[in-house]
Amino acid sequence: SSDGKIYMQSASGRVAEALAEQFEKVYLCARVVHGAPPGPFDSPLDAANIELIEQPYWNTTAESLLHFGGFTRAYFRTCARADVLFVRGLCPYIAVLYLCAWIFQRPICHWIVGDSVALLRSAARKDRAADFLALLFARLDRWFTRIGRWLTGGAFVCNGHALTRAYASPRTTEIVSSTIRNSEFFSRIDTCQHSVIHILFVGFVRPEKGIEYLLHAVSQLDSCIAWRLEIVGRREYPDYFKKLREIVAARDLSRQICWTDYVPNGAPLFNIMRSADILVLPTLSEGTPHVLVEARANGLPCISTWVGGVPDTVTHGYDALLVPSKDSRRLAQAIEQMISDGELRRKLICNGLAKARTQTLDQFITTVLKELDSDGSLQNAPVPQD
């Protein structure tokens, strides 16, 4: 940016800074936008030992495929400078990255954050041809990633059991990751004590999040319940957002629905959670969603759908309520149960807080460091965050 700082999406930035606390140098290999940070979407990196290695900029997967040379140079420079590699999620030309890691004989730990294949199959996003090509790319990425891990002898850390099965290997570890620190926990005994129940959704506003089912659910709530729904998240798909607004209008919910744009991870988001009564995640596809850890760490009882890695993150009836996906009636019943059953709600809050303490950023970084130092030879080596 113009102030000389590196700004990064808040959650990923927290991981990069946590790694910077452990190593002498961190090389951050990422796509870059030069200029002022884009509104509230990014946070500055405070660690002085993070150095940027610039990838070509791309908005879509199709755009990224136009920059083979640029990605090859970025990956080569990263592997040449670093002693170990930490990779986050899906990367353009992942085969090239793994090939560079093999050439330079760099230990590599790949964090598999979400199931892109299941996500693309869960809901239509664009037109049929574009969705087919995106699914093909996701399958090829998974294939090349598995081959790359075999070639390098690297490690996978996977969010949830489904991803652990999909990326099964001799060095695959199942985790529930988050970016919340122990110092950020907020304890409370109960919620739903005010005359109007504050229901909260946090996540990107896009088709696989199933927000239309939440809108249908709240419209079915008992008329004796006074409620408002706050939907927090960046609106990425105009046609989908238009569909949601049409549902709101058709069911006359506009006075009870509040749309809030993206809120950065950390205190701004956690303050919203602490003012809410129930978090609802009606998602159709997930890894192990950070928002369920963050909500429970802030004393917020949770309702979610039984998909992906959600059952690996929370346990139905113990620290959350789970319902089938795409079932607005069951979702409405779960919301009403959460509001009316104080004993259950307080149990979920208490157990959720305790469970979230095992799913912190500190726990995640400990797992990553163990995989990067599997032979016990790592001593203050630079780590790239891709």
Sign of the Cα pseudo-torsion (171, 174, 178, 183, in order): negative
User: Coil, strand or helix: which one is 231?
Assistant: strand
pLDDT band, very low/low/confident/very high, at 384 (cuts 50, 70, 90): low
| Residue 206 tokens, joined | 């896009």
Say whether pLDDT at 84 is over 80: yes
pLDDT band, very low/low/confident/very high, at 321 (cuts 50, 70, 90): very high
Structure letter (DSSP) for residue 320: B
24-83 residue pLDDT tens: 999 999 988 887 766 666 778 999 999 999 999 888 888 888 999 999 999 999 999 999
pTM for the model: 0.88
Residue 217, C-beta contacts closer than 8 angstroms, at least 6 positions apart:
280, 282, 328, 329, 331, 332, 335
| Lookup result for tokens 């199942």 | 174
Say whether pLDDT at 341 is over 80: yes
| Residue 57 tokens, joined | 């900029």
| Residue 19 tokens, joined | 């790694």
Rounded CA separation 264/284 (Å): 23
Rounded CA separation 32/58 (Å): 9
What is the rounded average pLDDT for all residues in the chain? 92
What does the pLDDT average to over 328-353? 98
Say whether pLDDT at 129 is over 70: yes
Structure letter (DSSP) for residue 57: P
- Say what the pLDDT of residue 382 is: 52
| Residue 93 tokens, joined | 């030309």
Residues forming beta bridges with residue 320, ordered by sequence position:
316
N-terminal to C-terminal alpha carbon distance within the chain: 19
| Residue 1 tokens, joined | 């940016």
